[in-house]
Structure 1
Amino acid sequence: MVVSVYRSDELTPADRMAWTTLQSQASCRDRPQMANPFLSPEFTLAVGSRKHGVRVAVAREPSGEPVAFFPYQRFPGGVGRAVGIGLSDCQGLVHRPGFQWRADELLSACGLALWEFDHLAAGQHPFERSATGSFPSPVIDVAEGWDAYLAQLRKKSPSFTRTTLSKERRLKRQHTDVHYVHDERDPAALRTLMEWKSAQYLRTGLNDRFARPWITQLVEQLFHTRSEPFAGILSVLYADGRPVSAHFGLRTERVLAWWFPAYDPAFAKYSPGLILLMHLAEAAARDGIAYLDLGRGESRYKDSFKTGELSVSEGLVSRRHPVAFALGKSHAPVRALADAVFSHAQLFGRADQLLKSTRRPREGRKST
């Protein structure tokens, strides 16, 4: 395996096109998770423009043709994490069908002692062997069209479906100009969504992601990102001339990732978020999306809407290295261990230098 490592902004247009092509082929070869937008070059490039250390390892044939892309973020001491960990709902290696690799060899080529993941796509066996847990990621399959999905939803969750449709009718009776915009391009609507989401985080006692400027900037950048077939999609439900619920997510050719939903609490009695998701599924089916990935995490509304589940896992894969050995001697949770490494990076400075000096030479341009 010939591996070259690049900064995310060093990838050539040809390499980015090859990456996108591998994703497109995956969606047609019963490997749907590999087509997830969080595994797209656009997401990696966007995170790389906001965070240091984002790299992409490219495995090539002797002819130079790319056969696999491995995005990661590198920290001192040879510590690696999935790109956008904590934000990304799908992680791993994007590769050609039948491509084989060894985790230790790949980490060595990347100059990593270890790599942490929390949403590893199923089927990444060299990494899955080190997983500490596996979790369902609910999906809405609309490949057969909206009518087929709605019929299935009525059968699976009849009371839920009737109630949601009834609330939309009541919303229309009691308010004016109720309509749905699938791909809203007004930045003001995105700002409204982020304000709602921040308020929701505070109400529920969760960490406010949008209090971090880099995350706000990342979402704004992805909102303006348009390539074929990747896009940031802002969907909005309006009433009385203003937004009442909204969602911002990412799409590729056949997958739409559910990411940041929120609504105006003043309209809570109508369940505007559920109404929006029904419209979103209908519009996605019309646009040729095969499924909506609702993301890891249990929720009553996800259980009601889902047609099935994919699987993601979390864990830490490592190779023989002082940093990996030090972590392996502890029984603390993976995330706590990794955070300890980052907060005491100087302790691993010499190990990092040793790692770089002993790394096997690789062909092509490379960054560390």
Structure 2
Amino acid sequence: MKVTVVRPGELGTAERTRWREIQHAAPALDNPFLSVEFALAMDRLRSYVRVAVVEDAGKIVGFMPFERHAFGIGKPLGSWLTTCHAFIADGGVELPARLLLRSCGLSVFDFDHMVAGQPTWEPHVTAVRPVPMMDLTSGFESYVGHVRDQSPKNYKTVRYKERKLAREHGEIRLEWCAADPAVMRTLTGWKSDQYRRTGRVDRFAQPWIVELIDEMHGQDAPEFGGVLTMLYAGDTPVAGHFGLRTHHTLVGWFPAYDPDFARYSPGIMHHLHMAEQAASHGLGQVDMGKGGREYKSWLKNSVIHVSEGRVARPSATAAVHWMGRTPFNKARNIVIDRPQLYRLADRVLKGFGRMRTSLQPAGTEKEPSGVR
């Protein structure tokens, strides 16, 4: 096999078409974060983005988008920002991971959202995690019937809160594919506030991420697009979400709600309305992303799997990287695998967030850096 490393923007029309053909032919690759459009957008904003083009007997059989950082440290495209990574290849292609790394000029490659079962990465997998899905292929009524049957108490509570919200604040409606940039700023403002309150890093404090989101918001092709949804009570926005879609799958990315309406559970309410609209627009599933949020466990009616692992070639860089990352990864997995520890860690982060917010100067809490 021949491996050529280029920037995504250097791919020609034939290469981009071939990428789409390979992705469309494999259901496991049906994720917008694996689309060539996302790689092109990342390339325009980040200088470290690359793609390995794999050929066999003169025919392109695969694409591996990745990030190449200093000292030969490799990361999946989007790394901490996205929820799915993969070697986008024809079925049956078996390219050893270390050979791929050598061709890419990498010493080490960590992954934690890799499509499970890919031959290239399988020997290096250390854990496989479930990803909760909202399967809409049989229609929304079939889906919501499953949710109602599996979690009758939760479903009844959410619908009761929805009626209460409507009585007190106005009719409930969801706007699908909201085009107004002001709606996006409302959503990112909520999300930035949530990051701070819960002790997380505010992603929208980085201007390039805001630019990426805005570019994705403007995309609307049959095979790829950004979907901004907003749930309203009367004329008041209460919860929203921005994600990406293929022709079949909508992927959760940035959900948020107005904390002033938290008692109504607007985020879960929004997810149900979003699923209904997704089904009506011909989408077959909503990927909610791996993670320990309780609401996902009763909104799901299907799962897929992603894998975690590490590949390294013998080098001083790989050794230093291993010493720095392995203890952290082990500690993280211990927390993820134990619900009590996960809840404790979540409470600690929220406490840190409250302390950090209380120390901010008055009048600065609602203005996230980099978001206007």
TM (normalized to structure 1)? 0.85
Answering whether residue 151 of structure 2 is matched by residue 151 of structure 1, we say no
Tell me the SS of whatever aligns to 1:43. helix
Could you report, residue by residue, the CA deviation over 1:130-179 in whole angstroms, capped at 9, with x for unpaired residues? 23333221111111111111111111111111111222222222223431
Answering whether residue 105 of structure 2 is matched by residue 93 of structure 1, we say no
Q: Output the CA distance in 2 between the equivalents of 1:25 and 1:92.
A: 14
Give % identity: 41
Tell me the SS of whatever aligns to 2:74. strand
Answering whether residue 93 of structure 2 is matched by residue 102 of structure 1, we say no
Q: Which has the higher contact order (CA 8 A, sep 6+)?
A: 1
Gaps of 5+ in 1: 337-368
Structure 1 position 198, deviation (Å): 0.6
Q: Output the CA distance in 1 between the equivalents of 2:191 and 2:320.
A: 38
- Cα gap change, 1:335/1:223 in structure 2, threshold over 3 Å: closer, same or farther? farther
Structure 1 position 327, deviation (Å): 3.7
Structure 1 position 286, deviation (Å): 2.1
Could you report, residue by residue, the CA deviation over 1:249-295 in whole angstroms, capped at 9, with x for unpaired residues? 01012211111111111222221111110011112222232221111
> What amino acid maps onto 1:160 in structure 2?
N
Where do 1:125-136 residues align within 5 Å? 125-136=119-130
Could you report, residue by residue, the CA deviation over 1:33-53 in whole angstroms, capped at 9, with x for unpaired residues? x11111111111222222121
**Deviation larger for 237-246 or 123-132:** 123-132
Tell me the SS of whatever aligns to 1:97. coil
Whether the aligned pair in 1 keeps the contact of 2:116 and 2:128 (CA below 8 Å) is no
Counterpart for residue 51 of structure 1: 46
2:55 to 53, 60, 66: 60
Tell me the SS of whatever aligns to 1:333. helix
Answering whether residue 306 of structure 2 is matched by residue 312 of structure 1, we say yes
Tell me the SS of whatever aligns to 2:179. coil
Whether the aligned pair in 2 keeps the contact of 1:57 and 1:71 (CA below 8 Å) is yes
Q: Output the CA distance in 2 between the equivalents of 1:327 and 1:299.
A: 30
Could you report, residue by residue, the CA deviation over 1:27-74 in whole angstroms, capped at 9, with x for unpaired residues? 2xxxx3x111111111112222221210011112334x3211100010
Structure 1 position 298, deviation (Å): 0.7
Q: Output the CA distance in 2 between the equivalents of 1:263 and 1:331.
A: 33
Tell me the SS of whatever aligns to 1:132. strand
Counterpart for residue 234 of structure 2: 240
Counterpart for residue 16 of structure 1: 16
Aligned residues: 330
Structure 1 position 326, deviation (Å): 4.2
> What amino acid maps onto 1:51 in structure 2?
R
Whether the aligned pair in 2 keeps the contact of 1:86 and 1:118 (CA below 8 Å) is no
Whether the aligned pair in 1 keeps the contact of 2:184 and 2:228 (CA below 8 Å) is yes
Tell me the SS of whatever aligns to 2:317. helix
Whether the aligned pair in 2 keeps the contact of 1:24 and 1:253 (CA below 8 Å) is no
What's the Cα RMSD here?
A: 1.9
Counterpart for residue 25 of structure 2: 25
Answering whether residue 250 of structure 2 is matched by residue 256 of structure 1, we say yes
Tell me the SS of whatever aligns to 2:4. strand
Counterpart for residue 35 of structure 2: 40
Counterpart for residue 181 of structure 2: 187
Q: Output the CA distance in 1 between the equivalents of 2:216 and 2:327.
A: 32
Where do 1:156-171 residues align within 5 Å? 156-171=150-165
Q: Output the CA distance in 2 between the equivalents of 1:287 and 1:14.
A: 30
Answering whether residue 179 of structure 2 is matched by residue 220 of structure 1, we say no
> What amino acid maps onto 2:23 in structure 1?
Q
1:210 to 204, 211, 220: 204
Counterpart for residue 267 of structure 2: 273
Whether the aligned pair in 2 keeps the contact of 1:316 and 1:334 (CA below 8 Å) is no
- Cα gap change, 1:266/1:60 in structure 2, threshold over 3 Å: closer, same or farther? same
Answering whether residue 71 of structure 2 is matched by residue 77 of structure 1, we say yes
Whether the aligned pair in 2 keeps the contact of 1:194 and 1:210 (CA below 8 Å) is yes
TM (normalized to structure 2)? 0.84
Q: Output the CA distance in 1 between the equivalents of 2:321 and 2:193.
A: 37
Q: Output the CA distance in 2 between the equivalents of 1:333 and 1:42.
A: 35
**Deviation larger for 321-330 or 165-174:** 321-330
Could you report, residue by residue, the CA deviation over 1:178-220 in whole angstroms, capped at 9, with x for unpaired residues? 3111211111000100000011111111111111112111111
Structure 1 position 330, deviation (Å): 6.7
Tell me the SS of whatever aligns to 1:149. helix
1:302 to 279, 296, 304: 296
Whether the aligned pair in 1 keeps the contact of 2:95 and 2:119 (CA below 8 Å) is no
Tell me the SS of whatever aligns to 2:283. coil
Whether the aligned pair in 2 keeps the contact of 1:44 and 1:83 (CA below 8 Å) is yes
Q: Output the CA distance in 2 between the equivalents of 1:24 and 1:50.
A: 26
